[in-house]
Amino acid sequence: MTDAAVRAVLLDLEGTLYARGSVIEGAADAVAALRELGVGLRFLTNTDSKPAERIQAELAGYGLDVAAEELFTPVVAAAQLLSAAGARTYPLVSRELREVLPTLADEPPYTHVLIGDCRDTLDYAALDGAFRAVRDGAVLLALQTGRYFKRADGDHLDTGAVVAAVTYASGAEARVLGKPATDFFELAAASLGVPVSACVVVGDDATTDIAGGRAAGCGTVQVRTGKYEDQRAEGLTGRATHELDSVAGIARLVREWGVV
């Protein structure tokens, strides 16, 4: 950790507060303890298949008390960006997101292509349409570029694989709106009115939570839950400011560092 005291904690969700359909032991108490310390809180997720309100309801089912405005997702970032740009967007996203995202267009010309979790809409025609729109000049946006995600029934292909297909075929680079993009962490800090250097990112994923937090100038805490064991075996861990067995110990650690 840097010498700066902590003003905000940016907490990952899946793999950190819950994993494989169950809440991490001590997670709810950890969130409550952080609130008692008076630090700002944002709950960061790369979940790109559903709006914030449904994520909030799911967290309540785990016994986690999180307000909708405390959630920071790439879907929120995309909606803000596309609205401001007056975009005509080709959506390669879930059916649920198509109902809530602005600026979606049914036919060309497209100014943007947005790729997110599209497991319920993906087929060759949809993928080919995204490729052709990018080749015609549309800006490629990725809600996130995760390789895989974990569920109770095992590992599943994530959005990054679909983004990789379009970038490989089109030769275009994607602007990433979720973790590990530096903008994502900076915007989360800005939403709390604190400098990013006074934030601590807590997460299980070394490639998104830890790498992104480090690049943004945050302190970082790797928890040994979720993807940790997989990534340790790949040699990806060991770069965080600190490691904890689980999120249950985060309030004690923040107290030791000091709170502004």
Rounded to whole angstroms, the Cα distance separating 187 from 194 reads: 10
**Angstrom distance (rounded) from CA 244 to CA 248:** 8
Rounded distance, CA 185 to CA 196, Å? 7
Strands 112-115 and 139-142: parallel
Q: How many CB atoms lie within 10 A of CB 221?
A: 27
The pLDDT value given to residue 150: 83
Closest of 98, 80, 96, 87 to residue 184, by C-alpha = 80
pLDDT at position 1: 43
Beta pairing partners, 115 = 92, 142
Say how many C-beta atoms besides its own lie within 10 A of residue 4's C-beta.
Answer: 16
Separation between Cα atoms, residue 109 and residue 90, nearest integer Å: 9
pLDDT at 132: 98
136: number of CA atoms within 13 Å, CB side? 15
Q: What is the pLDDT of residue 260?
A: 66
- Domains present along the chain, CATH in parentheses: 85-176 (3.40.50.1000)
Cα torsion for 237, 241, 244, 250, to the nearest 10°? -140
pTM of the model: 0.82
For residue 4, what pLDDT is reported? 66
Query: Taking the mean position of all CA atoms in its chain, how far away is CA 224?
Result: 18
For 16, 70, 164, 173, 227, the CA distances from 11, given in Å and listed in that order, are 8, 10, 27, 28, 15
**pLDDT digits (tens), the chain, 260 positions:** 445 689 999 999 999 999 988 999 999 999 999 999 999 999 999 889 888 888 999 999 999 999 988 999 999 889 888 998 999 999 999 999 998 899 999 999 999 999 999 999 999 999 999 999 999 999 999 999 988 888 888 999 999 999 999 999 999 999 999 999 998 999 899 889 999 999 999 999 999 999 999 999 999 999 999 999 999 999 999 999 999 999 999 999 999 998 86
